[in-house]
Copies of this chain bind each other. A is one copy, B any other.
Amino acid sequence: MNDINRQVILIARPAGIAQAEHFAIRHSRVDQPGPGEILVRNHYLSVEPAMRGWIADSDNYAAPVAIGSVMRALAAGQVVASGDDAYQVGDYVTGWFGWQDFARVRTDQVVQRTNAPEMRASLGILGINGVTAFLALTLIGQPRAGDTVLVSTAAGAVGSAVGQIARLMGCRTIGIAGGPDKVRRCVDQFGYDSAIDYRGEDVGVAVARHAPQGVDIYFDNVAGAISDAVLPHLAMRGRVVACGTASIDRWNPWPQGPRVERHLLVKRARMEGFVIFDHMDRYGDAVAQLRAWIAQGQLTWREEILDGIDACPDALAGVYRGENDGKRLIRLV
């Protein structure tokens, strides 16, 4: 066993999106697990848009990652030493193991058990992204057959799952993505009925054309100008799933936008925030449903694998530059 642990450390708090220079790679010794702990060798590290929020020093759903500590991240790997009878050496696990080679963690940091072939999917479609898509769409969006569902970051890890699940539920789906490649992928790979290129079209005009009866569910991963263009096109009793704010670089100073109250009132519409961590009791059932759809060939996804821990520091900024092609993962082993 390699006893050097390379750890990606947050060394400065960015005002906006964390860039490569906000991280450094530290070499540490590997610690053996104590009672109730395991030592995990990470095979794959996850890169999430939500990391921006985990880093930001502002109101959020968890305490921000401390300066000088390992970057918080989901990862999948194999138990290499165990201080907990429930976990054996060789077990595959996915959990809050951080951007590092080895994680010595309490076993409550394990999110799910996995296996070698599903390790990567457990960080995406069979993990936080797929479960978020399924639960946020169903619990907040409450789709009914025939609804028109509009999805931003429609080709992304969450959005692409939302579009496919909505279609499985009998909805008409419209994607919003950036650039002709992603727009084509929305329709060709993810089965959207149509897609809008927010870089090349006036989003409001396009939404009116693609959804002449209005948008019943807007699954919002971006906030900002795209959402502002969508809201006037909500259908009566429309639902806005507030799942992410990827288009907003920073919340200090707090950004302004067109007021939403009148849209909500006139359309009797609802906007509601969703954070997956509130719904961990449904996680296992959601994974089982997603796995069944995959087995039936009804759910597909894209992954983009970067090799080596040195890819970490710029990986998040790259997602915000729109460079990734599907769920971005870092392969270590």
Contact of A258 among B220, B245, B256, B272 (CB under 8 A): B256
Interface: A90 (CB within 8 A): no
Q: What residues of B have a CB within 8 angstroms of the CB of A275 in the complex? A: 265-266, 268
Identify the stretch in A74-82, A143-151, A247-255 within 8 Å (CB) of chain B at 4 or more residues.
A247-255
Known A258-B256, A260-B260; judge A266-B220 contact (CB<8 A). no
Q: What residues of B have a CB within 8 angstroms of the CB of A260 in the complex? A: 260, 271
Interface string of A48-76 (1 = CB under 8 A from B): 00000000000111000000000000000
Interface: A22 (CB within 8 A): no
Contacts A224-B259, A270-B272 known; list 8 others, CB within 8 Å: A59-B262, A61-B265, A61-B266, A254-B259, A256-B259, A261-B273, A266-B275, A270-B273
A238-290: which residues lie under 8 A (CB-CB) from chain B?
242-245, 248, 251, 254-275, 278
Q: How many copies does the complex hold?
A: 2
User: Does the CB pair B223–A259 fall under 8 Å?
Assistant: yes
Q: What residues of B have a CB within 8 angstroms of the CB of A251 in the complex? A: 262
| Interface-central residue, A61, A254, A261, by most chain B CB under 10 Å | A261
Count of residues in A whose CB is under 8 Å from the partner chain: 37
In the complex, 25 of the A-B residue pairs with CB atoms within 8 angstroms, ordered by the A residue number, are A59-B232, A59-B266, A242-B261, A242-B264, A243-B265, A254-B258, A254-B259, A255-B258, A255-B259, A256-B258, A257-B259, A260-B271, A261-B271, A264-B272, A264-B273, A265-B273, A265-B274, A266-B273, A268-B272, A268-B273, A268-B275, A268-B278, A269-B273, A270-B270, A270-B272
Interface string of A183-222 (1 = CB under 8 A from B): 0000000000000000000000000000000000000100
Interface: A227 (CB within 8 A): yes
Q: What residues of B have a CB within 8 angstroms of the CB of A257 in the complex? A: 256-259
